[in-house]
Amino acid sequence: MKIGLLGCGIVGSGVYDIITQNMSPMVVDFEVLKALVKTPEEIIRPDMTNNVDDIFANDEIDTVVEAMGGIHPAYEFITRALKAGKNVVTANKAVVAKYLNEFTTLAKENGVKFMYEASVGGGVPWIKSLRQAMRIDEITHIGGIFNGTTNLILSEMEEKGLSFDECLKTAQKMGYAEADPTADIDGIDVRNKLIISTSIACGKQVLAEEIMTFGIRSIKECDLAYFKTLNKHIRLYAEAVIEDGKYCCRIEPRLFNVDEPEAGIKLNYNICSLYGKTIGTLKYIGQGAGKFPTANAMVQDLLDIDCGNATLPELDFNGNATCDMARLEGSYYVRYSEAVADKVEAAFDGIEYTAVEVNGAKAFVTSVIPTITLHDRIESVADAMPEIFVARV
């Protein structure tokens, strides 16, 4: 296999190392012919170039590994590679979530493979497992902790009492966070991963604007202290139900009992789960972010292409999946500052809730309500959002 590598950052260099340092006997015949860097100053090896045409114009290169991240120019490069008859392997969840249908169609039209195992769950073999489960079952539920950065933040704040900023810095230093960590903290990265997973399960494209999303930006020490009194652990959890041809997705901080597997997921680890009628619940755990776990998933895709193993049922994402946002419900913890108390309490008028004791702030726990109702009420006080933290209890 002759490879053109787009991007030599953390993940790209991981792929390069696994291949060139012969970390696996199965990749000895793999060769990185060209590796794209952004500027001439970054060129430190003869295979490196800052001109992408050196990759597309090279007929020897049969497979492009995209490890740049972001939508542009990743979208243009992936479409160009597929149209040029080159297989594409990518870890880029943002571009895959948006253009899954287009990339899949282009790959089919050009007789090549488009593989994106590393885009969800890092090193966890999730996409392959999901597709394998679909050979027998309809998947009616998907759940998971899909982001290493926020999981590190929450588990380290919880366990070591460290501050949000300290934990975020660690995630950045370890190479887990996105270039702009807003995507991690506000649940956007998880949303992309849930779009990909749910689109696969539905066989149709799921849209970002139909996913109810809360992140962890406004969590404070007082929230964690309260959850500790309940003997519960907080994680950023993604969930989809798919029934009667309709899907409903949400991403939100959620509390877990100590004996639930999600409560034990720490640092950069992810957990990905599915439910199917005959298999029941399946859960997969592993490192969801980081150089070698993510690169490992990309090299697994390369091996599947090379061995002719990339043959799970073809997916066709034609058309949009139908959403019914009213299908999920829950009881919610809402914490807010004194400054916005009147607004928040007015916004929840008519909803049954119980005030709870939280040091230095006001908080209540609602009765079981549709998740969409919670989002509508919070939306009505969106300007106060930095002062509000929401979690499902």
- The set of catalytic residues is 193
Piece of 48-56, 142-150, 317-325, 330-338 that binds ligand HSE (CB under 6 A) = 142-150
Return left, alpha or beta for 257; rule: phi > 0 is left, psi -120 to 50 is alpha, else beta.
beta
Residue 96 within binding range of ligand HSE, rule CB under 6 A: no
Q: Which of 218, 288, 387, 391 binds ligand HSE (CB under 6 A)?
A: 288
Contact pattern from residue 156 through residue 185 relative to ligand HSE, giving x for each residue in contact according to CB under 6 A and a dash for the rest? --------------------xxx-----x-
149 binds ligand HSE (CB under 6 A): yes
Interaction mask 41-60, ligand HSE, x per CB under 6 A: --------------------
Contact between 289 and ligand HSE per CB under 6 A? yes
Binding span for ligand HSE by CB under 6 A among 76-84, 98-106, 145-153, 234-242? 145-153
189 binds ligand HSE (CB under 6 A): yes
Distance CA 72, CA 68 (A): 9
State how far the Cα of 299 lies from the Cα of 65, in Å rounded to an integer. Answer: 9
Written as six digits, the tokens of 329 are: 């419900």
* Among 198, 237, 214, CA closest to 323: 198
CB 298 within 8 A of CB 65: yes
DSSP H helix total and E strand total for the chain: 13, 19
Q: How far apart are CA 202 and CA 166, in angstroms?
A: 39
Nearer to ligand HSE, 3 or 272 (CB): 272
Per DSSP, the three-state class of 143 is strand
**Beta-bridge partner residues of 99:** none
Residue given tokens 């726990």 in the structure block:
365
Q: Does position 7 bind ligand HSE by CB under 6 A?
A: no
Rule CB under 6 A: choose which of 144, 148, 215, 286 binds ligand HSE: 148
Query: Which residue's CB is nearer to ligand HSE, number 236 or number 340?
Result: 236
Nearest approach, Cβ of residue 155 and ligand HSE (Å): 13
